């Protein structure tokens, strides 16, 4: 199934869905789809790693299935579980029934009592390949990683009571990691690697304008210039593009209040994620080393309209 015929086409599709992509991201997605390999996306927080999966699913017109990893995640939580309270109830109800044991057993271990979790959902997609997002895989432990590799190698699992389930449509797999630990070699050998860093000024401007079509160009530019300076500082938790968009939205929403007090200074908490970062930013602004974008109230509307 040829979803996209070229990198250019994929790029156009991504932009049509309001995702500002550079060529590298588009090439990575293109190759991941064509070579049928998982894509491992790493990078600092807030740069849009998860977004990539979401927009790919939209562009392909398919479902996004998300598996959020955490310490202690195990196969049953990720793959499937039996709904045993319901099973228990059915067993009790059928106790006095007339049906044969094999019959009852088949019912108890049937689809009706199966709780499908993300991995199984991804394997059993009926119409077309879904996008399977495995988020923050570094938070799960190495044992789970090994299990994941097994599943991703052949895209099939065996459920003892139901048999072997093979994926009819292989999911497109995107894996993200925060690099809090080294991932296993097996995983790395299997994947293509994409590093998404903080955006450049131009890219960030494009992102803000794509996400907030209403924003005035001058304000978008001022916000982006400010953010580039902020990232050059030595903050504990540098803000990502997500924070930039949030802040721009906040400033836009508070525009009307700009006559009374400056929204930019009071909303710095949107981009600073720790107390010491906030303090540092406020300090620099107070000393004049950082200039906040100026937010001016919109001109009063003329109800009569232009002639």
Partner 1 sequence: MTVGMPGPLLPQAGDGMPQAGMRLVRGVVTFLRFLRTHGLPVGPDRCVLALRALGQVGVGSREEVRTALRLVCAVDPKQRERFDRLFDLFWDGGGAAAAEPACRLEAQAGPWSGGTLPAAPEAGSDAPAELPQTGALYSPHGVVRAPPQPAGEPDADRLLREAAARLARRLTYRPSRRARAGRRGERPDPRRTLRVAASRGGDAPRIVYRKRRIRRTRLVMLCDVSGSMQPHACLLLRFAQALTRTAGTLVETFIFSTRLERITAQLRRTTSRLPARPAEGPVRPGGSPSGDGVERLIASVPLWGAGTRIGQSLASFLRDFGHLLVPGESVVVVMSDGLDTGEVELMARSMARLRRNARRLLWINPLAADPRYEPLARGMRAALPYVDRLMAADDPASLAALERYL
* Residues contributing to the site for partner 1 (CB under 8 A): 7, 23-24, 27-28, 30-31, 34-35, 37, 42, 71-72, 82, 84-85, 87-88, 91-92, 95, 139, 142, 178-182, 188-189, 192-195, 197, 234, 236, 276
Could you tell me the smallest distance in angstroms from the CB atom of residue 200 to partner 1?
16
Could you tell me the smallest distance in angstroms from the CB atom of residue 194 to partner 1?
6
In sequence order, the 6+-apart residues with CB closer than 8 A to the CB of 11 are 21, 23, 26
Neighbours of 6 (CB within 10 A): 10
State which residue, 184 or 255, has the beta carbon closest to partner 1: 184
In the chain, count of helices (H) and strands (E)?
14, 9
State which residue, 23 or 168, has the beta carbon closest to partner 1: 23
State which residue, 29 or 134, has the beta carbon closest to partner 1: 29
Neighbours of 28 (CB within 10 A): 23
- Closest to 73 in 3D by CA, of 146, 145, 151, 140: 140
State which residue, 87 or 107, has the beta carbon closest to partner 1: 87
Could you tell me the smallest distance in angstroms from the CB atom of residue 151 to partner 1?
20
State which residue, 130 or 238, has the beta carbon closest to partner 1: 238
Could you tell me the smallest distance in angstroms from the CB atom of residue 34 to partner 1?
5
Could you tell me the smallest distance in angstroms from the CB atom of residue 221 to partner 1?
28
Residue 231 C-alpha from the chain's centroid: 22
d(CA 69, CA 108): 30
Q: With H, G, I as helix, E, B as strand and everything else as coil, classify residue 193.
A: strand
């Amino acid at each position: 199934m040829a979803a996209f015929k070229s990198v250019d086409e994929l790029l156009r599709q991504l932009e049509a869905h309001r995702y500002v992509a550079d060529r590298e991201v588009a090439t990575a997605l293109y190759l991941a789809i064509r070579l049928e390999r998982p894509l491992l996306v790493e990078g600092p927080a807030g740069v849009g790693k998860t977004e990539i999966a979401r927009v790919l699913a939209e562009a392909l017109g398919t479902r996004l299935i998300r598996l959020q990893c955490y310490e202690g995640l195990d196969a049953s939580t990720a793959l499937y579980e039996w709904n045993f309270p319901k099973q228990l109830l059915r067993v009790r109800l059928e106790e006095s029934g007339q049906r044969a044991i094999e019959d009852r057993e088949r019912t108890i271990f049937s689809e009706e009592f199966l709780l499908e979790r993300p991995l199984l959902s991804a394997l059993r997609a009926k119409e077309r390949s879904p996008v399977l997002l495995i988020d923050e895989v570094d938070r799960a432990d190495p044992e789970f990683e090994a299990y994941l590799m097994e599943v991703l190698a052949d895209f099939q699992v065996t459920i003892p009571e139901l048999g072997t389930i093979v994926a009819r449509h292989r999911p497109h797999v995107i894996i993200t990691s925060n690099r809090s630990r080294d991932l296993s070699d097996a995983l790395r050998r299997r994947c293509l690697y994409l590093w998404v860093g903080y955006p450049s000024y131009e890219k960030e401007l494009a992102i803000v304008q794509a996400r907030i079509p209403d924003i005035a160009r001058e304000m978008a530019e001022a916000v982006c210039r400010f953010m580039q300076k902020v990232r050059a500082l030595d903050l504990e938790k540098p803000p990502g593009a997500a924070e930039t968009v949030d802040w721009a939205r906040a400033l836009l929403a508070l525009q009307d209040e700009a006559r009374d007090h400056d929204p930019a200074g009071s909303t710095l908490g949107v981009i600073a994620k720790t107390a010491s970062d906030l303090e540092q930013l406020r300090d620099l602004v107070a000393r004049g080393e950082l200039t906040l974008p100026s937010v001016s109230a919109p001109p009063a509307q003329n109800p009569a309209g232009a002639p």
